[in-house]
Chain A
């Protein structure tokens, strides 16, 4: 019996998956140099604060928040796409009713942000932010335009592959995830230290969406599918023996 059972307070315990995540110290990504801890991390048991988390967003999602092409009077320039998929935990169970937030550059590779100095045009019909809730089966869906690649100053002639930023909560503090979704076959992957900061190839592949003809809308929009997997509970302590594979 594990110690989670002794006090009568039985808590879910979220399975770690450290090999899927990038090291905070990634020298190729220059700005990580002064922004990673050098002391070893301290073990934090998963107690009540860690296995609970904010269940929010229902009152934050407006009518057009999931459709980034419908937030202005006119339509944005660029290739209209549908981005959809499911939020799952690592046991493959859907994560229902959870907030999914996105932000991205426009089709020219420019963010609506003061700090973005890339000399590419802003689009008066594109803000580049969206949010939605997953449904009962963990499905989410956005309509947007395909973001452009853009240069940055990490190394000589550095370019970020096209990507959409995603923010997820799941249902527990341990599940919080900020990540980026990429597009299949991007020729810029090889030189991107952020994408390649994930050392495990299979894990890197999990950041790449797939083109999906079935969910395209003929004569209107192409479609990319992307499932997001958050840490899952490893079962109750009483199931440990069966779970031990």
Chain B
């Protein structure tokens, strides 16, 4: 056979994915257990182009452990540990989502640079025919963020949409799908 197979198209997650026993797990937002040393909490609101909260959205995160390692065989440095840095959270009627995880360590890139601590984010909702992808960076990592090869390619005026803000002991990361202050989304 010549050439790759065509992939199966994406379709919307629709309005009914929060069915009992379905894809929204009760422990979905809890990547690590309460009381885990170094645990951080991230909260945010998912907003549409009119600035209204989206109550039927699904937000997912994926990231390395606090040492910047993955329990995954495709990490050429070797699979390490048991951390599954995945969380998913259906948005509340107020459009809110949250996660408890650990802040990932910095990561080496193939060209010898260093990515600042970050989480990859998938956003899905009724009305979205495909996911959008963004990243969460951390406000206390100013030097690492300044050297990050992905952030430094982003228009400086929009970079702030990718950086959580400190909110007491927690981090806040709102996601705006459209409009003023639209979050930066990635083609990956």
The interface of chain A, by Cβ under 8 A from chain B, is 3-7, 9-12, 15-17, 20-24, 26, 29, 31-39, 41-56, 60, 71, 88, 90-92, 101, 103, 105, 111-113, 115-116, 127-129, 165, 167, 171-174, 176-180, 194-195, 197-198, 202-204, 206-207, 228-232, 245
Contacts and interface: CB of A to CB of B under 8 A. Distances in A.
A39 B77 CA distance: 36
Given A10-B110, A31-B126, A194 B12 contact: yes
Given A5-B110, A44-B188, A178-B131, A49 B9 contact: no
Interface in B133-188: 133, 135, 149-150, 153-154, 158, 177-179, 182-188
Contacts of A56: 84, 86
Given A7-B111, A33-B49, A48 B75 contact: yes
Contacts of B187: 16, 41-44
Nearest to B18: A113
Per CB-CB distance, the 8 closest pairs between chain A and chain B, nearest first, are A31-B127, A54-B86, A44-B186, A34-B49, A35-B127, A41-B187, A22-B129, A90-B4
A111 B19 contact: yes
Interface in B4-59: 4-23, 25, 48-50, 52, 54, 56
A21 B130 CA distance: 7
A22 B10 contact: yes
B8 A24 contact: no
Given A21-B10, A36-B178, A52-B74, A113 B16 contact: yes
Contacts of B15: 113, 115-116
A38 B178 contact: yes
B129 A24 contact: yes
Contacts of B64: 48-49, 52
Nearest to B6: A20
B4 A7 contact: no
A231 B7 contact: yes
Nearest to A31: B127
Interface of B: 1-23, 25, 48-50, 52, 54, 56, 60, 62-64, 70-72, 74-77, 84-86, 104, 107-112, 115, 118-120, 122, 124-133, 135, 149-150, 153-154, 158, 177-179, 182-188
Nearest to B56: A115
A9 B110 contact: yes
A147 to B, nearest CB: 11
A42 B154 contact: yes
Contact of B16 (A7, A24, A26, A111): A111
Most buried by B among A172, A174, A177, A203: A177
Contacts of A23: 129
| Interface class of chain A by DSSP | loop
A45 B111 CA distance: 11
Contacts, number: 259
Contact of A173 (B8, B62, B129): B62
Contact of A47 (B12, B60, B110, B131): B110
Contacts of B182: 37-39
A194 B11 contact: yes
B71 A115 contact: no
Contacts of A24: 128-130, 132
The CB with the most chain A CB atoms within 10 A, among B17, B19, B60, is that of B19
B25 to A, nearest CB: 8
Contacts of B71: 55
Contacts of A165: 11, 13-14, 17
30 contacts: A9-B109, A12-B74, A20-B9, A21-B7, A22-B130, A29-B127, A35-B49, A37-B132, A38-B179, A41-B187, A44-B135, A44-B188, A46-B188, A48-B108, A48-B109, A54-B84, A55-B72, A90-B5, A90-B7, A91-B4, A105-B16, A111-B19, A112-B20, A116-B15, A127-B19, A129-B19, A165-B17, A177-B10, A198-B9, A245-B2
